Structure 1
Amino acid sequence: MAAAQGIAPPDAETIAERMATLGSDVPGSIWAMQPFMNSEELVAEDGTTYRLSSMNPYVNAWFVLEVAPQGGSSRYYHLENADRDDWQISLVEDDGAPAIRVLGTGDEDGEEILCAPWEDNGLQEARDTGLPFAPLCEWSIFLRNPVTGNRTTREAVAEFLRDNVLFGDSIVNLIKGTFFEDAFMVSSEGLEIEEEVDGVALLGEALLDRAPVMRPYMGFDLLGAEDGMQAGSWYEVDGADGIYASVMQPGMIASEVFQVPGANRLDGVESRADVYLVAFDMGEFTLGYEPGTDHPRLGWSSRPSHRHYQGRGPDGFDSPDPLVRTGTLNPTYAESVAAIFTGGFKRDHGAWRFGDYATFNYGHHYGFMVDGVILSRLWENLATMYMTHDGEVVMRTWTEEDNSAEFLSTLQFARQNGVAIIEDGVPGARVTSWGGGNWSGSANADLRTLRAGACTRTVEGRQFLIYAYFSTATPSGMARTFQAYQCDYAMLLDMNSQEHTYMALYQREEEELEAQHLVTGMAEVDVRGSDGGRIPRFVSAPDNRDFFYLIRRE
């Protein structure tokens, strides 16, 4: 049943039935994964049926428009609300003909837009633009178009942002590659002068036995770090309120941290490998998540042998159709984006090959939800980062009880990636189990590699999200580092190359969006257009990988 100002959630009985389908062995389709979806339908004089489905009215972000000519095949269009907080979208009759109504609430209270984008070939023209987000209905709605990360698409997006949004172009070029072991290991220790350097008072200092001044190869401009950074201290990023940076090496960690059981000994290489950390005061930011054009996929990982063989993936399908994954930041956020970092593992790596988790729940494929839409089921036992509608960012282990309608209806997004590195402030139960933790490397330090991870920490009621880049590390090294920084919970993101561990901050310089990369080598992952201009990854360059983004609160 539709609400007066938009599309309301279905009734409780319908939600209960759909939750039963979601919890079955094989839901079978992307539609069957959406317990809160609701639709409105109108028929035009020529017999064409128009059906507008809100994929999750609690979030009010993603819609699917179905246009079904009488006697013909249906065409589907994935629409996105350009301002989910202020626009309510519904299907209405306008002078006896179907139309989309966009009704303003909040800051846009009382404003109404009526449009019929299927008239005058409007939908097809929007699709023909090739843009991942093509504006409709006076920019109140975007049509999400399928794109690839080729240069033509990237340049088209960059030109679109430059012409229609205040900022559009930014930094550097592309060199891809996968590297293993210690290929990115750096060791910047050298200044042993113990110099008192004030950190950020609330974050304090990491638990280290020694804190020398270091000269890291960090790409940020920091306040007070002209003569180096004292290990374990925090520094403000110049011109980026609420963002702080720190550096250390695991060999500096206080002995009291190593007394806590749950991790292996660190070898000499890992002990002297630099770790760069970036903290975000979540009182100043909201977090978002967007899947890539290709990854993580929805089909089967090749790893688990325990499959039900009743579909093309653990949920019964391997395509999001009719939903479209753009791998690009919504242009609405282009002016306020503060930072972006890559998400988690690809699907093929995102399930268990060995150990007990490979033997049930179809191998525990890492699940994910975006804008309230479940694309892959969320499994208990897995480390999960999610955000609720009120902006609370949480990182913890998913439980069976979390797969309830009451809880799922509160979520904006969720992304699972392996198991906990830190849980309740101590190493997770599987940190030392190579197969049991699905670490894609040896927890006994037989194989180190570049890794990225994230943790949450709450200090005096204020929450911080901390991203960490390990130039070479094992899960044990990551656990000890997050312990030293007094994290509440920590999880792995991705590994093996600077493309997979990419992280950049964005600042405004003379009406330009300028990127600062955590490590200068990450700048090489951005691309150049044919005119030599730099196009920032994820912001205006569609990417096959998923990513998290931080938007500065107004």
Structure 2
Amino acid sequence: MTIRAFFLVLLLAALYPVSVFPESGEANPKISQMAQATPFENQDTSGQDILKTGEASLRVQLAEYYANVPKNIVELQPFRTTTQIPVKDKYDQKGTATLINLNPEINVWFLLLLVWDNGAKEAFHLENRLPDKVLLSLNKTFPYGLVITDNQKDFFFDLWKNPRDNALLHAKRSGKPFQQICNMYLFLRNSVAGRKTNLEYVTDVLRNHVWQGDQIVSLVRETLYRDAYLISSEASPAQEVKQPRPPGAPERPLINPVFINYAQDIEELGIELDEKEKGRILIGRWYEVKGLEGIYISVVQPRFIAEEVIHSQRKLTNPLDEVESEAVSYMVAFDLDRFNVGFSVGTEHPKAGWSERTLEGVLDPGMPGPDGIDTFFPLVMTGMISPDNARMVNVAFIGGFKRYHSAFHYGTLALNNYGHHSGFIEYGTILSKLQPGLATIIVDADGQVNMKTWTETDNKNLKEIRHARQNGVPIIDYDPSTGISKPGEYVRFWGKGNWSGSISKKYRTLRAGLAVHENDGRRFLMFGYFSSVTTSAMARIFQGYKCKYAMLLDINALEHTYLSIYKKNNGSFSVMNLIKGMNVLDKVSDNQTIPRFIGFPDNRDFFYLTKKEEK
């Protein structure tokens, strides 16, 4: 019996016992008693509550944003601008159209609301394909649709004149996640189901429907799945040593001189490299991905990191056991001069409401979630890259924890600020507030990528953020006052750091992480794949690779640590998974691989990299 099959048997046993829930009643009483957010479609969208412009309204909207009260997703957007006009159709049915630019500084996501006098209400999530040059508006002289301004020329698009046959209806009925409208200026984002693996399905059912289901998941993960993805490989002196690093590669990591000319097998690596000697590569050396400039890969084990790094971390990390000391890890570096970074929320994760890990004394039952919402509706999360970005994408990799895992259950961070649920922003739209003290990757309006620990002061820059994702506390933290990077204060503490759901409070597992490396004015985003480690081993490797800042992404399975690289040559499209086993997460049609996040919607959030246009 395979591990996954055994996990399924456990699920069935858990779903059909004599008594699923304890006699005292519900499985999760603190969640069931919470207030529910008022659905947006049931609110009076014709009222003045959403018609705000100017500085006075900005103060009101900021007050709405910070208020700890139930609200809808629109009230979570403090920088939105809203216009409203009377409209009608060709049968003279009258109503009101409301157009909300959710963040004019980014100018990508819009919400169009139609409220008719007969009581009918419709909501449409629009995406501006040319945000740097195209403006959307409503005009009282044109009651039938949108006005799009391109190069100072106005174009009028009829969208609802015929209520039985119009562009919006056709686009919505298409069933496509992204459907072009308005002469291809816009996408209508449509709700679709995201793909979920069997492992994720079983885990979600246990957590959401079975009393103490998370304890079952943790037990299985810690016993049957522990070291399930461990890669161990003997390293030995290389026969022929090639020292020079490829042009443009990151700075060489700090490797123990004893192992500087050692090589190891890379049988599991699914990415083709420019240089490879009989399936072995040198420890700590950077190799460029074949056919793709600006992407580099290196292999290492925690035991190979220089003694100076290990010594500097003695009181900041835990000692490593023999297994994780020899666990093979891969580092993938992306030249940020060559790539733009994007982020997308999955169709299902992360969610908006409370994590069930939130302590009872911290959870507010009068709030539907820590941000006042429990749904993103009427916004639509598609769980895949837009067709425009898909044409330019070179890399995609997994995001962070689900909402369930994002709240702290132990330590100081669990006792205030609603348990510090991780925040995230997509295209300037705040889907969950960024929380102080949490590790954050930020892509600003100009495409600049930064990683830092968020502070209250940073909220002044919210308007300028295109994308952001938080995931727990830092693994490597940077102190701007001293210019020194070192392991985060919670790296060695299982509970305070919220590093895993282990019963034993020390859980060695497959982990992925993200870091930024800077050298001589050049900057790299680094993805780390760690086959079976604790966060202490991650900190050792990230610091050995001279990373300025680093954070955890997700853990425990290939689907949660996924990374793929894409090559396009003369119309052909090839997919290279970081680890060969990750290919089971893609689909195949007519012998052509259809990659996760690009070819079909996924339930999980993810990052993607697109090639920058040459100046």
Closer, same or farther: CA 11–359 of 1 in aligned 2, 3 Å: same
Aligned position for 1:553: 612
Tell me the distance in 2 between the aligned counterparts of 1:284 and 1:136: 31
Closer, same or farther: CA 509–111 of 1 in aligned 2, 3 Å: farther
Instruction: Identify which of 130, 137, 156 aligns with 1:90.
Output: 137
1:233 correspondence with 2:285: yes
Aligned length: 514
Tell me the distance in 2 between the aligned counterparts of 1:287 and 1:118: 36
Aligned position for 2:269: 218
Q: Which residue identity is paired with 1:552?
A: K
Instruction: Identify which of 443, 450, 472 aligns with 1:394.
Output: 450
Shift of 1:50: 1.4
1:397-436, Cα deviation, whole Å (9 max, x unpaired): 00011223xx111111111100000012211110001110
Alpha-carbon contact 2:70-2:368 (below 8 Å) kept = no
Tell me the distance in 2 between the aligned counterparts of 1:127 and 1:89: 19
Alpha-carbon contact 2:238-2:282 (below 8 Å) kept = no
Q: Secondary structure at the match of 1:99?
A: strand
Instruction: Identify which of 122, 139, 145 aligns with 1:99.
Output: 145
Aligned position for 2:202: none
Q: Which residue identity is paired with 2:610?
A: I
1:13 correspondence with 2:53: no
1:118-152, Cα deviation, whole Å (9 max, x unpaired): 2433212111111110110111100100000359x
1:115 correspondence with 2:174: no
Aligned position for 1:340: 396
Shift of 1:89: 1.4
Alpha-carbon contact 1:200-1:233 (below 8 Å) kept = no
| Pairs within 5 Å for 1:340-379 | 340-379=396-435
Tell me the distance in 1 between the aligned counterparts of 2:529 and 2:504: 20
Tell me the distance in 2 between the aligned counterparts of 1:150 and 1:403: 34
Instruction: Identify which of 588, 593, 603 aligns with 1:544.
Output: 603
Q: Which residue identity is paired with 2:468?
A: A
Instruction: Identify which of 337, 345, 351 aligns with 1:297.
Output: 351
Alpha-carbon contact 1:432-1:476 (below 8 Å) kept = yes
Q: Which residue identity is paired with 1:39?
A: T
1:98-132, Cα deviation, whole Å (9 max, x unpaired): 4312222xxxx356532122243321211111111
Shift of 1:75: 0.6
Aligned position for 2:68: 25
Alpha-carbon contact 1:93-1:99 (below 8 Å) kept = no
Instruction: Identify which of 531, 555, 562 aligns with 1:471.
Output: 531
Alpha-carbon contact 2:423-2:432 (below 8 Å) kept = yes
Q: Secondary structure at the match of 2:312?
A: coil
Alpha-carbon contact 2:443-2:465 (below 8 Å) kept = yes
Shift of 1:218: 1.1
Closer, same or farther: CA 236–458 of 1 in aligned 2, 3 Å: same
Shift of 1:193: 2.2
Aligned position for 1:322: 378
- Say which is worse superposed, 515-524 or 199-208, in terms of deviation: 199-208
1:48 correspondence with 2:95: yes
Alpha-carbon contact 2:399-2:606 (below 8 Å) kept = yes
| Pairs within 5 Å for 1:137-216 | 137-149=182-194, 180-193=225-238, 195-200=241-246, 203-209=250-256, 210-211=259-260, 212-216=262-266
Aligned position for 1:161: none
Aligned position for 2:179: 134
- Say which is worse superposed, 438-447 or 258-267, in terms of deviation: 438-447
Alpha-carbon contact 1:295-1:544 (below 8 Å) kept = yes
Alpha-carbon contact 2:500-2:507 (below 8 Å) kept = no
Q: Which residue identity is paired with 2:277?
A: E
Alpha-carbon contact 1:91-1:98 (below 8 Å) kept = no
Q: Which residue identity is paired with 2:160?
A: W
Instruction: Identify which of 492, 495, 499 aligns with 2:559.
Output: 499
Tell me the distance in 2 between the aligned counterparts of 1:302 and 1:364: 13
Tell me the distance in 1 between the aligned counterparts of 2:269 and 2:447: 30
Aligned position for 1:270: 324
Which structure dedicates a bigger proportion of its chain to helix?
Answer: 2
Tell me the distance in 1 between the aligned counterparts of 2:595 and 2:155: 33
Q: Secondary structure at the match of 1:452?
A: strand
Alpha-carbon contact 2:106-2:427 (below 8 Å) kept = yes
Tell me the distance in 2 between the aligned counterparts of 1:246 and 1:496: 22
Shift of 1:252: 0.6
Instruction: Identify which of 472, 477, 495 aligns with 1:435.
Output: 495
Tell me the distance in 2 between the aligned counterparts of 1:338 and 1:9: 40
Alpha-carbon contact 2:516-2:549 (below 8 Å) kept = yes
- Say which is worse superposed, 311-320 or 385-394, in terms of deviation: 311-320
- Say which is worse superposed, 367-376 or 179-188, in terms of deviation: 179-188
Q: Secondary structure at the match of 2:469?
A: strand
Q: Secondary structure at the match of 2:475?
A: strand
Shift of 1:196: 2.9
1:293-332, Cα deviation, whole Å (9 max, x unpaired): 0000111101011211112211222110110000010111
Higher relative contact order (CA 8 A, sep 6+): 1
Q: Which consecutive unaligned segments of at least 5 residues does structure 2 have?
A: 1-50, 197-219, 479-484
Alpha-carbon contact 1:264-1:443 (below 8 Å) kept = no
Tell me the distance in 1 between the aligned counterparts of 2:506 and 2:67: 40
Q: Which residue identity is paired with 1:30?
A: I
Tell me the distance in 1 between the aligned counterparts of 2:389 and 2:119: 38
Aligned position for 2:459: 403
Aligned position for 1:255: 307
Shift of 1:533: 4.4
Aligned position for 2:387: 331
Tell me the distance in 2 between the aligned counterparts of 1:215 and 1:327: 35
Tell me the distance in 2 between the aligned counterparts of 1:427 and 1:225: 33
Alpha-carbon contact 1:9-1:58 (below 8 Å) kept = no
- Say which is worse superposed, 256-265 or 320-329, in terms of deviation: 256-265
Alpha-carbon contact 1:206-1:485 (below 8 Å) kept = yes
1:343-376, Cα deviation, whole Å (9 max, x unpaired): 0000001111111111100111111111111111
Q: Secondary structure at the match of 2:330?
A: strand
1:424-466, Cα deviation, whole Å (9 max, x unpaired): 2211110001110000156998421000001001111111100
Closer, same or farther: CA 48–512 of 1 in aligned 2, 3 Å: farther
1:34-69, Cα deviation, whole Å (9 max, x unpaired): 011112222124322111111111100000111111
- Say which is worse superposed, 266-275 or 484-493, in terms of deviation: 266-275
Alpha-carbon contact 1:117-1:136 (below 8 Å) kept = no
1:187-245, Cα deviation, whole Å (9 max, x unpaired): 22333226233224552321111131122121111112234211111111111111111
TM-score normalized by structure 1? 0.89
Determine what percentage of the aligned residue pairs are the same residue.
Answer: 40
Shift of 1:532: 5.7
Q: Which residue identity is paired with 2:271?
A: F
Q: Secondary structure at the match of 1:241?
A: coil
Instruction: Identify which of 521, 525, 539 aligns with 2:585.
Output: 525
